[in-house]
Amino acid sequence: MSTKTRADLSEAVYQEVGLSRNESAELVESVLDEIADCLVSGDNVKISSFGSFLVRDKRGRIGRNPKTGEEVPIEPRRVLTFRPSQVLRERINARSK
């Protein structure tokens, strides 16, 4: 197994679509930028047959330092979660069999 990078995605677009390498890289960048901009503004992003990126607000709470047991305040924050679609889950599970 390996990790896919932006360069790998750009190369895949170049191979599949036939755009130039520069155009492929720009296309991948613009798609990722659009997704990131939507998430930063608090919008959820749903990509059909792939999954949904969801932004949640977590409230502040008191946590504990596991080493010392000292109580530590945890600030409210926004977190990003990904929920794969059923189609993607089925593809992943079919591959592992």
Domain tally for the chain? Answer: 2
Residues 23 and 87: their CA atoms lie apart, in Å, by 29
Quick one: 57 and 31 in the same domain? no
Summarize the confidence of residues 53-63 as an average pLDDT: 96
* Structure confidence at residue 96 as a pLDDT band (50, 70, 90): low
Q: What is the pTM of this model?
A: 0.78
Sign of the Cα torsion 66, 69, 72, 76 reads positive
Q: What percent of the chain has pLDDT over 90?
A: 93
> How does the average pLDDT of the chain come out, rounded?
94
- State the CATH number of the domain containing residue 95: 4.10.520.10
Quick one: 90 and 67 in the same domain? yes
Higher pLDDT among residues 19 and 95, named by residue:
19
